[in-house]
């Protein structure tokens, strides 16, 4: 009679894109796993429990550096290079759009402030009539 949970905690799980599950019972470096699976990155799966439910969702997938070690008791997923590049492009596009929205919001405000003369040139603070000489 054994304890299945103890065995699972003493293993690390690697999920392949095809759905294959691999269990290892020793620590291994991410570079070794990537060498055995060309064109893939190793990511740590960080689970969370959905409130008021018994379901578990994935909140974050963190890419590992090649020099990092996969540790027992954690689950990892192999992600293709194409998926990583797709996410990076989307993130870059999203960041550019966010900056563009911020610039469009702030530019008119700054122009109206400079036109009204309420900012001293070269200063970030509004002028105060009591401080004027």
Q: Give the residue extent of every domain in the chain.
A: 4-81
Q: Please answer whether residues 66 and 42 qualify as being in contact, where contact means their C-beta atoms are separated by less than 8 angstroms.
A: no
Q: Please answer whether residues 45 and 54 qualify as being in contact, where contact means their C-beta atoms are separated by less than 8 angstroms.
A: no
Reference 32, options 65, 81, 8; nearest CA is 65
Give the per-residue pLDDT at 106. Answer: 63
The pLDDT-based confidence of 1 (bands split at 50, 70, 90) is very low
For the segment(s) 4-81, the CATH number from 1.10.540.10, 3.90.550.10, 3.50.50.60, 3.10.20.30 is 3.10.20.30
12 Cβ contact list (under 8 Å, min separation 6): 23, 24, 25, 27, 28, 70, 71, 72, 73, 74, 75, 76
pLDDT greater than 80 at residue 103: no
What are the tens digits of pLDDT across the range 22-42? 999 999 999 999 999 999 999
Q: Mean pLDDT over residues 115-131, rounded?
A: 51
Strand partners, 119: 126
| Cα dihedral across residues 35, 40, 43, 48: positive or negative | negative
């Amino acid at each position: 009679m054994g304890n299945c949970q103890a065995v699972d905690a003493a293993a690390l799980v690697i999920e392949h894109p095809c759905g294959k599950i691999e269990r290892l019972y020793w620590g291994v470096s991410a570079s070794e796993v990537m060498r055995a699976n060309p064109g893939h990155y190793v990511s740590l799966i960080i689970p969370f429990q959905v409130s008021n439910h018994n379901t578990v969702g994935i909140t974050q997938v963190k890419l590992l550096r090649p020099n990092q070690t996969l540790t027992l008791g954690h689950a990892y997923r192999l992600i293709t290079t194409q998926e990583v590049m797709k996410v990076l492009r989307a993130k870059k596009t999203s960041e550019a759009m966010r900056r563009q929205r911020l610039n469009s919001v702030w530019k008119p405000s700054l122009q109206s402030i400079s036109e009204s003369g309420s900012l001293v040139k070269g200063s970030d603070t509004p002028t105060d009539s009591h401080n004027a000489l």
